[in-house]
Amino acid sequence: MSEKKVPSRLFNELVQRFPDVLEAHENLGTAIRGAGPLDEKTLHLIQLAAAGSIGSEGAVHSHTRRALKAGATEDEIYHALVALISTIGFPRVTAAISWSRDILNK
């Protein structure tokens, strides 16, 4: 998939207003990804599941894009979210799936 990441207007505003904070945030993500044995695809699927668990539409969009870029399949993305049903409930999972589909169906 060759979708280019397009930061939101708010994200761009925050970068302008707090460049050191956003740079530190990005550096933290880089450090976390390099800190252990999990590959990038697995990490994004975990973060996708976490985003769905907290009901963050923007983070579900972001981690769906990132998981795809890291090689995740549509089935893996669905599975990462469906696996949450017994933990967070069917309504929250269907919401997360609908947000993921915003990206998958582009």
Q: What is the pLDDT of residue 8?
A: 77
* Domain region containing 31: 8-37
Nearest Cα neighbor of 58 from 102, 13, 91 is: 102
Burial of 60 (0-12, 13-18, 19+ CB in 10 A): buried
Is residue 78 domain-shared with residue 63, that is, in the same domain?
Answer: yes
Q: Are 14 and 54 contained in the same domain?
A: no
Same domain, 82 and 95: yes
What total number of domains does the chain contain?
Answer: 2
Give me the pLDDT at residue 104, please: 97
pLDDT mean across residues, the chain:
92
Give domain status of residue 66, yes or no: yes
Q: Band of the pLDDT at 9, cuts 50, 70, 90?
A: confident
Is 2 domain-assigned?
A: no
- Say if residue 31 is in the same domain as residue 58: no
Q: List Cβ neighbours of 53 (8 Å cut-off, separation of 6 or more).
A: 84, 87, 88, 92, 96
Which pLDDT band holds residue 10 (cuts at 50, 70, 90)? confident
User: CB neighbours of 71 closer than 8 A, spacing ≥ 6?
Assistant: 41
pTM reported for the whole predicted model = 0.83
C-alpha of 98 from chain center: 14
Q: What is the structure's pLDDT at 7?
A: 63
Give 39-80 pLDDT, tens digit per residue: 999 999 999 999 999 999 999 999 999 999 999 999 999 999
Q: What confidence category does residue 5 fall into, taking pLDDT thresholds of 50, 70 and 90?
A: low
